[in-house]
Amino acid sequence: MISSRMLRDTVAGFDTMPMTTVERIASLATDRRYAPNRVLYRAGDAADGLYLVLSGRVRVSRQTGSRSRVLHDEGPGVLARAEASPAPEFTLGVSQSALADELDTAREVVVRALGALMDARANRRTGRSRFAVVRPTVLRAMAGR
């Protein structure tokens, strides 16, 4: 079951919706888990629902002839990664270069963004690609939540 709290904390924009709306969506939602490389749907397929990525990653690609081109990856983001971690520390789960690829940006942008989080004392580095959330309210504010 998907909780309204999980939706509000993970999906951008849900924190500004009335709680009754979020609760209604949560009551209708179905928690699904997919094997790696599973195709959810293809262009032109009839819609069978709305997919929200609460954990993990979904790669969006376009197949043209025999070629497949990755358009972007979708995931819950750094805040959700931190909140999903059972420990006070969390890992990005990928290198900064891979995170930049996931976000379709340059590695330098990721480095600057992580630096800004540490400068604001929202996070602190605890090891290679490992961080601890020091001030979750600052992190949420910076994420626009």
pLDDT in tens, 108-143: 888 888 888 888 888 888 887 777 788 777 777 776
Residue pair 105/97 in contact (Cβ under 8 Å)? The answer is no
Instruction: Provide the pLDDT for residue 19.
Output: 92
Angstrom distances, CA of residue 69 to CA of 60, 62, 66:
9, 5, 10
Task: Locate the domains of the chain by residue range.
Answer: 1-76, 77-145
Instruction: Provide the pLDDT for residue 36.
Output: 87
- Helix pair 96-103, 107-119: axis angle to 10 deg: 110
Query: pLDDT at residue 24 above 90?
Result: yes
Residue 11 or 33, more confident? 33
Phi-psi region of 144 (alpha: psi -120 to 50; beta: other; left: phi over 0): left
What mean pLDDT is reported for the chain? 79
Token pair of 112 as six digits: 């600057």
Phi, psi (deg, nearest 5) at residue 107 = -55, -35
CATH of 77-145, one of 3.30.450.20, 1.20.5.510, 1.10.10.10, 3.40.50.300: 1.10.10.10
Query: pLDDT at residue 44 above 90?
Result: no
Between strands 130-133 and 58-64, the pairing is unpaired
* Other Cβ atoms closer than 10 A to 76: 21
Per-residue pLDDT band at 70 (split at 50, 70, 90): confident
Token pair of 145 as six digits: 């939540």
Of 73, 39, 42, which Cα lies nearest the Cα of 56? Answer: 73
